[in-house]
Chains A and B, each alone.
Chain A
């Protein structure tokens, strides 16, 4: 079952290089240079396969011989002690079809491209009001607290039917859930508190429905309150932390490349620029876990049934052959005019991010509006190291002081 590594295997999740939130941890880049599939260690003492190549990552995530079901005993767990917690209350992210498809299809209607397109004026208004509030409070400001976090939080609250006044509660609990250092008991309490909160909200909506996802879910007879709470938790956590971190990191990167930030003034260049930022930043930096259900040959390596695999999106997204145009910038540099559409920042396969049309709309509007409305935007402390959250499953910044 397990093979002895011949070279020092990286331990997952590996830390970022100090102060560099833009690049994958060096351990992954080195592993990718050695082979597209290598052995790696996990913190609980077990070992797994680290998959770093673009075609191999796509295969792991789309081939049904790899399972996303976290209840399987061999499923690789990145943080020791989380196995029972994930398995006890799996959202559809951690289930296989047909269970996954049944639950996912309950909410796909809310994230259709045309639904999200219809939400754009509402998102623009939320974004404009956030800029107004930040501008009124005056320069300098912390972009994370004033802009990057409020915008997606407000959007997902509206969509899900969660009162924005409760943001402190769900933002704090979400942080615990994606923390790599919180202990099992803390994470268990945070998960239960958030499930109880969302279950309570859903129960209220049974009597007083609104035009929101929780109300639509609770009106169905084929879903338990527990399934609704798990789905709500997934959408709430995935819906604000990821986009918030993308807004903050993208702003930092664009402020370091002002000539590329200027391209956002052209509306036709904005969607492509956002794809490039998604590709280069790949904030789900710890990779996606799967377990092989059968023996599978992958990149010339035999993965045995029952072995764990971590698909590393960040290294796949830096495939030189795929992303570097002839004469163009290397794949590990920002080029907002690059064709980055083949990136796997949203994952791949049936679990690919459900909210990607919404994430794209929010990022396009938030970034274009910020640079248009505050043309003098700059880093308040240009020489300071970025305040990267060291203990998060999603790359992000604690704060980003800006001036204008």
Chain B
């Protein structure tokens, strides 16, 4: 599973950081989402999917590669 972010859609709600702080963070200067990890552990998949679902701006995209269902 892969996760990507689109900062243009980020509205800095902090939902992702609240849901999975190990994977997402907010930049100190502009408040926009940053990825802390590029390779996810399988144990994080469910929470990252939830963060993507909860993102109010639709800034987080999860791509399933068929190995982490």
Contact = CB atoms under 8 A, between A and B. Distances in A.
Interface of A: 61-62, 101, 104-105, 108-109, 111-114, 116, 341-342, 346-354, 356-357, 360
Interface residues of B, number: 21
Given A62-B58, A112-B31, A350 B11 contact: yes
B50 A350 contact: no
Interface string B4-38: 00000001111101110100011011110000000
Contacts of B50: 341-342
Tell which of B13, B26, B58 has the most Cβ of chain A within 10 Å. Answer: B13
Contacts of B12: 104-105, 108, 111-112, 354
Tell which of A116, A342, A348 has the most Cβ of chain B within 10 Å. Answer: A348
Contacts of B19: 341
Given A342-B54, A352-B56, A354-B12, A108 B31 contact: yes
B contact face: mostly helix, strand, loop, or mixed: loop
A213 to B, nearest CB: 13
Given A114-B28, A341-B54, 12 more contacts: A61-B56, A109-B30, A111-B12, A112-B12, A113-B21, A341-B50, A352-B13, A352-B56, A354-B12, A354-B13, A356-B14, A357-B14
Contacts, number: 65
A contact face: mostly helix, strand, loop, or mixed: helix
29 contacts: A61-B56, A62-B57, A62-B58, A104-B11, A104-B12, A105-B12, A109-B30, A109-B31, A111-B14, A112-B12, A112-B14, A112-B26, A112-B28, A113-B14, A113-B17, A113-B18, A113-B26, A114-B17, A342-B54, A346-B13, A347-B56, A349-B56, A350-B56, A350-B57, A352-B15, A353-B13, A354-B12, A357-B14, A357-B18
Interface of B: 11-15, 17-19, 21, 25-26, 28-31, 50, 53-54, 56-58
